[in-house]
Chains A and B, each alone.
Chain A
Amino acid sequence: MQMNSGSDDAGLLERIRRGDTDGAAELFERYAPALLRFTDRMLSDRASAEEVTQEVFLKVISRAHQYDGRAGVASWLFAIAANACRDRRRRERRATVVPLESVAEPRARGEGVEASIASRQRRDAVRQALSELSEEQREALVLARYHGMPYAEIAKTLGISVGAVKTRIFRAVETLKAHFSEGENSWTAAT
């Protein structure tokens, strides 16, 4: 994960606290790509991921004064994002909403659909594997694998011990290993 210096980030939050709109825009430019990647993998739905990422930034604006500097700004942002994803999943479970992906806008026939099938299948297989993990395992794994976050930082972000992070990642990798080792899904060997 591209880390920014803590004081730099804290300075941005200070600007947001003072009502500086450019500070909010700068924070967005700095962290939106990483937060969107995180929410997208946690929710497996692009539209929901965008909505939740927006929510995160709106919350940052309203809660900038609550940041106490105990964890880095990146950890704080990911903690807000993880909570927002959990809330969203809880609400969706209650409302049994059909994932937006299943009602994707129709494409014109032959519009490069075939060309994207293979990569789509690969992506779907990984998403399927990730969806088999518990929410806690997925959070820890996504932060470690896709954001390169050290265990100590993940622990601060998720509010758990480093030992718990190790356990969650261990179990997640064990599950994925078993999933990918199954005959049908070991397609990567051929790619």
Chain B
Amino acid sequence: MDCRDVTALGIERLTGEAPEAARRELSAHLAGCESCRREMARLEDAWTTLGVDPDAEVTPEFRRRTLGLLEEEMIRGRVRAFRPRPTFARPALQAAGLALAAGLGYLAAKGIPRATAPPTAGGPAAATPAASVPDLAANPRFANVSYRAADKDGRVSIGFDVTTRHELEGRPSDPEVAKLLAYLVAHNAETAGEKSRAIELVSEHFGTANAPASPEIVAALSATLRTDGNPGVRKKAADALASFPVTPEIRAVFLEALKSDKNPAVRLAAVDALAAAAKQSPDANTIQSLREKAVDPQENGFVRAKAASALKAISF
């Protein structure tokens, strides 16, 4: 080996990567080369110096907080867990359906009235999904809600069962789709998973395309942020609202969340959103609320620090 190889080999020796033969070769070279010994000393010095930086330690508070979050997430995961039907279920159901249809057809041919057939609110069950939304004012309960992400034309698809299968396809900004999404966020979802998915679909479109969200969607997300019992869902609603162009209504709901939401992660999201809004147009309420949070001894340390940092970033 020659002097040019010393640095690379020296580093490999420090990281424990140098093979035994290379180590011996390096040692032999260093024994006879003063300048390479100095180079090796500088490398070792730099390596040792890095060790002066103390390791961050897991504090009891961080452990408690994180284990709480993980537990919450695990519980949510169990709620969301999807249990597929056994593989034999579908053919069996199809066979049963065919048998029923054949039976009904036979009875119809015999001239027996159809009174025994179950009545359907939306007319006879269609083979293809209905293309319209039922009357939302009647507050129908949707089941088996499914989503399809935007295709190349930006059209999403939302399917659900009421009495028959409905499937609505269109851009999230189409009035009917927007109305349905708002309904799903605000009224329909029973589980956190359903609601989260609806919020994701909303924010995927309006957040990235920077299109103004419909008033229904803003109102639905605001209501979710104010009242949903699940902090994960409230946080998702906050993130979605934060991705929209700020309006007085959005600012107001964030101020309310910062003041009274029980979950620090939601309050942190509110601080971020308010700070970003205040950078564009500072307003007295926001600045006052951030100030109060920054010095509130009862507030979570992260929220306090974030509020202080947000104030620093706002030019008054």
Indicate if B293 sits at the interface (CB-CB under 8 A): no
Chain A neighbourhood of B58, CB < 8 A: 32-33, 36
What is the number of contacts between chain A and chain B, taking CB atoms within 8 Å? 144
Given contacts A50-B62, A61-B77, A105-B301, contact A37 B70 (CB under 8 A): no
**Which residue of chain B is the closest to A57 with respect to CB atoms?**
B70
- 1/0 per residue, CB under 8 A from B, across A9-29: the answer is 000000010011100110010
When the two chains form the complex, which single residue of B49, B312, B313 contacts A188, counting CB atoms closer than 8 Å? B49
Q: A112 to nearest B CB, angstroms?
A: 16
Chain A residues, CB < 8 A from B14: 173
Per-residue B-contact encoding for A119-142, CB less than 8 Å = 1, 0 else: 100110011011000000000000
**Which residues of A38-61 are within 8 A (CB) of B?**
40-41, 46-47, 49-51, 53-54, 57-58, 61
Contact of B276 among A16, A25, A95, A127 (CB under 8 A): A95
CB of B236 to closest CB in A, whole Å: 13
Known contacts: A98-B313, A103-B305. The answer to whether A144 contacts B7 by CB under 8 A is no
Q: How far is the CB of B315 from chain A (nearest CB, A)?
A: 12
Nearest-neighbor residue (CB-CB) of B8 within chain A: A170
- Is B54 positioned at the interface, with any CB of A under 8 Å from its CB? yes
Residue A174 at the chain B interface, CB threshold 8 Å:
yes
Nearest residue (CB) in A for B79 is A19
- Per the bound structure, the CA–CA distance linking A91 and B239 in Å amounts to 14
- A105-B304, A180-B46, A180-B49 known; A151-B17 Cβ under 8 A: yes
Chain B residues whose C-beta falls within 8 Å of the C-beta of A115 in the assembled complex: none
Q: B10-48, CB under 8 A of A: which get 1 and which 0? A: 011011110000000000000000000000001101111
Chain B nearest Cβ from A76, distance in angstroms: 17
A97 touches B313 (CB 8 A): yes
Does more than half of chain A's interface fall in helix, strand or loop, or is it mixed?
helix
A-B contact pairs, 11 of them (CB 8 A): A19-B78, A24-B70, A47-B302, A49-B56, A51-B302, A54-B65, A62-B77, A123-B53, A126-B52, A173-B14, A177-B46
Interface set of A (CB-CB < 8 Å, partner B): 16, 19-21, 24-25, 28, 32-33, 36-37, 40-41, 46-47, 49-51, 53-54, 57-58, 61-62, 95-100, 102-105, 119, 122-123, 126-127, 129-130, 144-146, 148, 150-151, 166, 169-170, 173-174, 176-177, 179-181, 186, 188-189, 191
Which 7 A/B pairs are nearest by Cβ-Cβ distance? A40-B56, A126-B53, A103-B308, A177-B46, A21-B74, A176-B46, A19-B78
- Beyond contacts A103-B308, A169-B11: 13 other A-B pairs, Cβ-Cβ < 8 A, are A19-B77, A21-B71, A24-B74, A25-B71, A33-B57, A47-B305, A54-B66, A99-B309, A104-B305, A105-B304, A126-B53, A150-B16, A181-B42
> Which residues of B does A touch, CB under 8 Å?
7-8, 11-12, 14-17, 42-43, 45-50, 52-58, 62-63, 65-67, 69-71, 73-75, 77-78, 81, 272, 276, 301-302, 304-306, 308-309, 312-313
